[in-house]
Amino acid sequence: MATRFLPSILKKRRFSLGESRLLRTGESSWRRSMPACCDPPPYQNLQFESKKCQSTPPSYEENEPEQLPKYSCTIQKSGYVTIKHEYTSRDVRPRTRTWRKHYVDLRGTLIRIYRSGLVDCKGTSPTYEFSMQNVLVRFATNYYKRRNVLRITFSDGQQFLFQLAGKEECIAWIESLQAAANISLVLDEWKMPQFITLPPQRRRMLYGCYADMARHLQQTFANDSTQFII
């Protein structure tokens, strides 16, 4: 009767009555490495007391008030510019694309365009107002009707042509506009400025020379191949 409750593996062996009692009760006379205890050993209940830090930082009131540097806008450019509105948005031309004289005021990362004939721009609202963020400024090399023309494309797709009085004024405006566009981005997105060391006329001359050399080499190779075939 006692062996009826034993596992099937143990049923194959024949146990005595004493051995079956040990298997049922879990008692054994084998020596163990650690003394058997019903309950785990008691642990100390550590309680961390909240203690104030000895070295407290000094308050800001104890320090002398620091004077912040004064803000000064280093990018400023204003003057009368003849402007033509090329695009109101991407691939959308305005109804009137005539050249008109406007007063342009560039301060920091903001450019405002007023109508002509204004002496004080503080009390008037600008005709156009744009941020210089993600603005593309370059020479209008493919516009041949007028000289000293800049092409400015803003982030919303609007595009303008700026005609300046001379080359020096044109260079001064493009330097100011590019500087404002460079600092308008987030500091992590700033890019290294690209310096153009050659004037556009000399670059065109060099490109023309390279094209002539390539054309001459193609002709010589073609002639050599025909002679070799003959």
Q: Indicate if the pLDDT at residue 7 is higher than 80.
A: no
- Enter the tokens of residue 177: 């506009």
- Enter the tokens of residue 186: 């987030």
Mean pLDDT of 214-221: 66
Q: Indicate if the pLDDT at residue 227 is higher than 70.
A: no
Greater confidence, 169 or 198?
169
Which pLDDT value is given to residue 229?
41
45 SS3 class = coil
At 72, the pLDDT band (50, 70, 90 cuts) reads confident
Phi-psi region of 155 (alpha: psi -120 to 50; beta: other; left: phi over 0): alpha
Which pLDDT value is given to residue 230?
37
- Enter the tokens of residue 127: 């005709």
- Reported as a single tens digit per residue, the pLDDT across 24-36 is 545 556 666 666 6
The span from the CA of 164 to the CA of 161, in Å, is 10
Residues 6+ away with beta carbon under 8 Å from 220: none
Which pLDDT value is given to residue 63?
64
Mean pLDDT of 209-228: 60
User: What distances in angstroms separate CA 59 from CA 27, 32, 51, one per listed residue?
Assistant: 69, 64, 20
Residues 6+ away with beta carbon under 8 Å from 110: 129, 130, 131, 132
- Return mean pLDDT, the chain: 73
What does 157-169 look like in DSSP terms, one character per residue?
S-EEEEE-SSHHH
- Reported as a single tens digit per residue, the pLDDT across 48-67 is 555 555 667 666 666 677 78
Which pLDDT value is given to residue 117?
64
Which pLDDT value is given to residue 82?
92
Which pLDDT value is given to residue 226?
43
Mean pLDDT of 38-55: 60
Greater confidence, 10 or 128?
128
At 189, the pLDDT band (50, 70, 90 cuts) reads confident
The answer to whether residues 116 and 104 touch, using CB atoms and an 8 Å cutoff, is no
Mean pLDDT of 223-229: 47
What distance, in Å, lies between the first and last C-alpha atoms of the chain?
114
- Reported as a single tens digit per residue, the pLDDT across 81-137 is 999 999 988 888 888 889 999 999 999 889 999 987 665 656 678 888 999 988 888
Q: Indicate if the pLDDT at residue 9 is higher than 70.
A: no
Cα–Cα nearest to 126, from 107, 146, 148, 102: 102
- Enter the tokens of residue 102: 């406007």
Which pLDDT value is given to residue 32?
63
Domains of the chain: 76-186 (2.30.29.30)
Mean pLDDT of 72-88: 89
- Enter the tokens of residue 151: 């092409």
Which pLDDT value is given to residue 186?
78
The span from the CA of 89 to the CA of 130, in Å, is 13
